[in-house]
Structure 1
């Protein structure tokens, strides 16, 4: 069994500006740093065995804050990256036609499959461990859907995660 604590990174400047971040690094705001500190404090009494995070800066910065004062194994993975917005990356949400998604945007099906690959990876490498995984809004939603047996067709029914929100799953 794996105790998986799934968290989203702290608030970023791009979140505030309503920008499609996708694979951009992202910069934590002062509020995002504070959110990560609150997350760190809420995890203090939990004996974590390891941390896995997205390899994008906003998640790595959040994970570093959360791990302050702990000597934990930490690895980054592209499996936890946010959805790839393709040619929309860096654009403001209000600047695009949401009814005509470009062909170079990662599909929900691809995201859902990647979430399954992440779960397969941690099941193969973290059995019996308590793990913190720091990811992004949409990939975390897909991971949660896979854990709960929610089908791709019902992916949007999975509740969104707020910045620095934490959810526990037993695998």
Structure 2
């Protein structure tokens, strides 16, 4: 049986500023680093085959902090990168909503994702995005028939993984719980189906005030 541990990168500067990151990047904050280390301590007794990380620096650095300097191989995978938001990236929610050509699709993305049109702002379509994430997960499974692996990635990627493994429609992609930075989701693959144990758990955080959105 393969046990899969799944987490989102730690808080970044752009998270604090409520800026959309997507394929772009910003540095982890002290809070993001602290939470990654706390998750590492929570997982310190797990013998991981490997860690699979998005190629984005915020995810890769989070993976390194989680290892607590243990000798665990970290493999980067381009298909685990966050969805590409095109011309929205680097902008705040308020800045995006203030632009006439952007605001309708921005609302659709979060409120009616099944109607989202990525073309006006040169972003990545949800169908293509979800397929690349599914392909990435299938590759990880094909390389690990049993044991424990950790995937360090992004909020929308995790939603796509949940959609694939739990057969959740695009229309329902944003159903709770919210996926906080360095929260823990765990499930296993028994060769026939995925079985979930927890989604978005934050019990390793010292304080709920350290949670962030964005």
Separation of aligned partners in 1, 2:41 and 2:76: 22
TM-score, length of structure 1 as denominator length: 0.94
Match of 2:78 in 1: 78
Q: Is residue 9–residue 154 contact of structure 2 (8 Å, CA) maintained in 1?
A: yes
Task: Work out which structure has the larger RCO, using CA pairs closer than 8 Å and 6 or more positions apart in sequence.
Answer: 1
Q: Which runs of 5+ in 1 are unaligned?
A: none
Q: Distance in 2 between matches of 1:90 and 1:129?
A: 38
1:100 matched to 2:105: yes
Within a 5 Å distance, the mapping from 1:72-151 to structure 2 comes to 72-97=72-97, 98-101=103-106, 103=119, 104-151=122-169
- What whole-Å deviation, never above 9, does each CA across 1:102-142 have from its counterpart, x for those lacking one? 51111222222122111211121111131000000110111
Equivalent runs, 1:59-70 vs 2, <5 Å: 59-70=59-70
Find the aligned partners of 2:5 and 2:94 in 1 and give their Cα distance.
Answer: 33
Q: Which residue in 2 is equivalent to 1:39?
A: 39
| 1:166 aligns to 2:171 (yes or no) | no
Contact 1:59 1:136 in 2 (8 A): yes
Task: Give the TM-score normalised by the residue count of structure 2.
Answer: 0.76
Q: 2:104 aligns to what SS in structure 1?
A: coil
CA distance in 2, matches of 1:2, 1:71: 20
Structure with max Cα Rg: 2
| Number of aligned positions between the proteins | 171
CA distance in 2, matches of 1:91, 1:39: 29
Query: How much has 1:44 moved relative to structure 2?
Result: 0.5
Following TM superposition, the consecutive aligned residue runs of length 4 or more in structure 1 with deviations greater than 2 angstroms are 151-154, 156-160
